[in-house]
Structure 1
């Protein structure tokens, strides 16, 4: 019964549904309920036609010779023939694609990939050909029995096996064969122009994410190849933060902080460290160090070496000094009246602090009008040596006065030649011989008494010997051979500076080298600017000013100080950088705590600079007798190695001028029964000048004697400490040889000097590296105790050797 039913089910072409008997296959039913008005409704049966899908081997179970028609009207035999034809075409295309791909891979594949065996398309069955990738997948795959899946596509109960569905037009959709992993992947995403132009664009490349994953995988596996250390040249300024240092080293900030902690420096990422510490850190990380300083911006600002061929003679720069009542101003006015150019122009209309006189012989002399020696010394204290010759005015009827003596000392300290102008020769009481004798007391020896200093008797009121004074100045200038190069960038000195309404900052500049032109960029002290106008001493605008020419310069952005250097630079950026650096340095100097120069610091400066060992002094006293006694006693303290140099001595209180002279000469001021005025005290506190007050002459002599003794090199003397004998030798790893000793005499101190004696012959002299008793490091070991000793950088020690221990003492020398 079961067999009959199975046979009937196989032969029935019809399908019995619960309600309706249909004669066509592929038709399904569905009930739809329609609603009408007044609550009426109707149920309608809707038939749905389903597509009949015929598989290639569907007719296998049918009886022999029985033909079944599909929805396309083809029999199973016709479908099978068509599939066989398609299989042959597919196999031919696969073989052609495989052969062409093998040729391409032989030419372009990498050597590492070329070693892998390629699969050749030599398969015979349809299942093997399906696994071979093809260029363009065909719609009909080969029929393979082991790829079938039992799928129910409809309600037909007589379909035991399911086949592929048909698409539109009767085409059968085929599965695309899988792509082998050995073949290059298809390119996806956007590409750049560089990638598009590369010849090897068709080669496979890893993405960034893939490379990152590969690095992480290697890192986790412990096979990550360490990166090669990159050695950099690190620029280190005077002060640098830890963050900036780590950036320049290309190292992690935590690593830099760890290295600092190992050195004993506790610093955070934002703190600053000095250049020496930063250099040690950079060296520890293996980088090369290049030290720079903020002051390097001024390198090359001043041209020191010049070609002697380009030098040309220049006019001398003369400063007139003297007592205020001795006719200095009148002499200057008289000298200006002898100016030929000024006479032709109708007289001088403006006085700017410096002017130039042209003589009848076409020679020129530049005069600087300083109100006194204080301004002269102030410029010298700033390092501006602007004066070539000093004219010292002395009244013939009054002789040498206090300010005259002070002017002499300032001129000598500046190391410039002096010309004595004995003025007021028109007065009845004029006595030039008395003036010459008084000058000899201050080491001013004139030519008439066998010296080398020139003197001229003049009269500013009558014009007596003014031409002779000018000739004497030119003669002295010829002896000095004053030359300068006018064909270079200008350098000079600011004589004075002022602020005028409508003109801004106006500064009088004395050009020393080169030629200053309108439009030049310059730096003057901490200020900079561009030359907008040049005005000479006759109030005429000029385009250029050569060496030894005084001019007024307009174009400063701020008022410079008298004595500041004036230098022309190539561009505005450098001028601004130099100005900012000098401003910053000035602010730091003001904010820093003023520390007075002690005697020890003064001595160290003198020894470092390699100058003559002299002790410069300025002496001020209440009476003339005390001053002479002090100067005489101090002069007798001088020896062949050291001596006292008295720059200035006078009667009266300590003034601001004395402090200025002490600053310029690094001298010490001694006040005997006198005190400094408030201005001098403020200047001394500001400039760090030491002022010592005394009331007993012997105290002055004792202190100066001790100071001179400090200039002397100390005496070195050896002090014997003790002796030890080596009993045994121990070799300790990472330390070397250690001598086991017995102290036989005196004591042995750690860090002291030692001598190694063998048969009473000194074979080594050095220092003691370590001193231990048992396992503890000790400071000293006394007689009768055992200890262990090791030498610094020396290991050639033997038993029965003797060790002498001694110290080197420095004994200060005195003048006794």
Structure 2
């Protein structure tokens, strides 16, 4: 109530409110959401002896017309031509390619938003990101966006320079442009692998697969294959003939027909498994993308799917999670995950946060550059403004999901949310701020950065007393008979014992009396008796300086 929130006994509070209450009551708390439960459950105690090598999971990303789909199609054709897989009769959002003795799983996700949605829900799905850039076109806004999403997911990046067979292709220009945004080619002394390919002729595909194999080998990807299955839902839909179907990437264990399975608030029994070739299978192993039939409703992309011991357990877990998710949705509406006003509160609650992550969107490139230049001028010696992503155009769902994954604030300059971006932002608890005047945005940013600065500890002298006589008492120890020369002496106040100009001890006033009565404080010109905590060596002539420290908010300089 003191915080201005009239909450009833059965009302759900926001995470920020709970954290502030915990700070007030000096209690340590850990807020666990339903999605956090998923993250904790995927941490299994598997021994080294149980681990086997698993295929790397690769996501191909890039600008819309730089040849992502063509590259994926060419890899599929190569696989079919090798005779190791039948014709692709059904698209399930993921497939596998065999290269020598290695198997590589490719995710054919709908776009960057889905890629980051999985990370926003805590699902570490992708092991390697391949960024496709056309050799005749160079780096484009969506290329930069793809790189931002890959970096946010903290996965190794391989750059595939596509369309090298086209007239005007300049792979060196692509390398130069990528180097300017922090992806330095390995053959130039950097740490990012670049591979020249042609999705049309198939040139360089073997080199790309070899490079993926090398990067995967460095990561030492292993999993326990001989246990109950668990994995991540890549995509899901409601099929008219078969009901809810979900593409699950198996990350651990073996999935069989008849297994009871739970994914978020959804549960079921595996009725059928379909592999990436469209064939029905009985068993799916580690690294396999498989279409699962049998859920009671459609799961969400990024949710953990795992086998449990019985259908009853699956139903119970799903219902519990459904209840909690509904409660969390109510809490999200009452308190956003992160906003500029929260910055100072979160710092007070003890959260280490010395960076202010932002996503910037503007109506034109000139405005965006001016905005970024002004932000760069803000003092950033102690608090760093981290621009996670910037771009021209309205605020999209992709921007919102990236903000949710990075705990960033979206700042728009003369732009508004488009499509379902506002609804998704409300659901994910992401703040979108729109400005028409650049200086108002900078003022708000400056205020937020000042909220992140460590407050300065200022010391103030409250009072001073001179020890004129020392008494010894068997029960309480040494009593200093004092005369207050300045200010006020307060019980439980911090005090320095000064002798001949040197501080001999710093302690606390444990007892303060006027005559025989306990006193809360004693003013200038009065006498009093003082007992210090854990210090008995008081001498006549000592000076007791009572002081207090307080935190003062600092300003950016």
Same fold flag (TM > 0.5): yes
The two structures, once aligned, show a CA RMSD in angstroms of 3.9
Q: What is aligned with 1:531?
A: 270
Query: In structure 2, do the counterparts of structure 1 residues 737 and 599 end up closer, same or farther at CA, with 3 Å as the change threshold?
Result: farther
Aligned to 1:416: 155
In the other structure, the counterpart of 1:504 is 243
Query: After the TM superposition, which residues 6-45 of structure 1 pair with which residues of structure 2 at under 5 Å, given as runs?
Result: none
Matched, 1:373 2:115: no
Measure, in 1, the Cα distance between the counterparts of 2:372 and 2:10.
54
Corresponding position of 2:44: 304
Q: Give runs of aligned pairs for residues 201-350 of structure 1, distance below 5 A.
A: 301-340=41-80, 343=83, 347-350=87-90
Are residues 573 and 757 of structure 1, via their aligned partners in 2, closer, same or farther at CA, if it must alter by over 3 Å?
A: farther
Give me the whole-angstrom Cα distance separating, in 2, the residues matched to 1:525 and 1:647.
29
What is the number of equivalent residue pairs in this alignment?
A: 529
Contact 1:637 / 1:643 at 8 angstroms: preserved in 2? no
- Report the Cα distance in structure 2 between the residues aligned to 1:687 and 1:344, rounded to whole angstroms: 43
Find the partner of 2:321 among 582, 588, 599. 582
681, 686, 698: which one aligns with 2:422: 681
Higher Rg: 1
Change (3 A) 1:390 1:811: same
Q: Contact (CA 8 Å) 1:302, 1:567: kept in 2 or not?
A: no
Q: Distance in 2 between matches of 1:485 and 1:417?
A: 23
- Distance (Å, rounded) in 2 between the aligned partners of 1:674 and 1:424: 34
Aligned residue runs from structure 1 range 449-528, under 5 A = 449-528=188-267
Summarize deviations over 1:755-776 as a string: whole Å, max 9, x none.
3456766565334456677899
- What does residue 26 of structure 1 align with? none
8 Å Cα contact 2:275/2:281 also seen in 1: yes
Structure 1 partner of 2:184: 445
Distance 2:259 2:343 in 1: 41
- Tell me if the contact between 1:297 and 1:578 (Cα under 8 Å) persists in the aligned partners: no
Residue aligned with 1:533, SS: strand
CA distance in 1 between partners of 2:288 and 2:70 (Å): 23
Deviations 1:401-427 (A, max 9, x none): 211111111011111122222223343
Residue 354 (structure 1) aligned with residue 86 (structure 2): no
Higher mean alpha-carbon deviation, 595-604 vs 537-546, is at 595-604
Residue 195 of structure 2: SS of its match in structure 1?
strand
Q: Over residues 510-541 of structure 1, what are the superposed CA-to-partner deviations in whole Å (9 max), with x where a residue is unaligned?
A: 00112212222222122222222211112222
From the superposition, tell whether residues 573 and 301 of structure 1 become closer, same or farther in structure 2 (CA, over 3 Å).
farther
Q: Given the alignment of the two structures, is residue 405 of structure 1 paired with residue 144 of structure 2, yes or no? A: yes
Q: Is the 8 A contact 2:80 2:86 kept in 1?
A: no
Please give the secondary structure, in 2, of the residue aligned with 1:422: strand
Change (3 A) 1:377 1:271: closer
The offset of 1:380, in angstroms, is: 0.7
Q: CA deviation at 1:468?
A: 2.8
Determine the C-alpha separation between the residues in 2 that align with 1:408 and 1:655: 17
Aligned to 1:429: 168
CA distance in 2: counterparts of 1:511 and 1:609, whole angstroms: 38
Q: Are 1:665 and 2:396 counterparts?
A: no
Q: Deviations over 1:626-656 (max 9, x none)?
A: 3234334434657565433221111222222
Partner of 1:107: none
Distance 1:764 1:447, change over 3 A: closer
Specify the SS of the correspondent of 1:578: helix
List runs of 5+ in structure 2 lacking aligned partners: 1-8, 12-29
SS in 2 for 1:489: coil
Structure holding more strand per residue: 2
* Structure 2 CA distance for aligned equivalents of residues 660 and 299 of structure 1: 18
Alignment of 1:180-195 (within 5 A): none
Tell me how far 1:667 sits from its aligned partner: 1.3
Structure 1 pair 607/573, CA: closer, same or farther in 2 (3 Å)?
farther
Q: 366-375 vs 555-564, which deviates more?
A: 555-564
Unaligned runs of 5+ in 1: 1-269, 273-290
Q: Cα offset for 1:710?
A: 3.8
Q: Which residue of 2 aligns with 1:805?
A: 546
Mapping of 1:727-766 within 5 angstroms?
A: 741-749=482-490, 751-756=492-497, 762=503, 764-766=505-507
Q: Give the Cα–Cα distance (whole angstroms) in 2 for the partners of residues 572 and 797 of structure 1.
A: 75
Going from structure 1 to structure 2, the CA distance change for 1:310 and 1:582 (only over 3 Å counts) comes to same
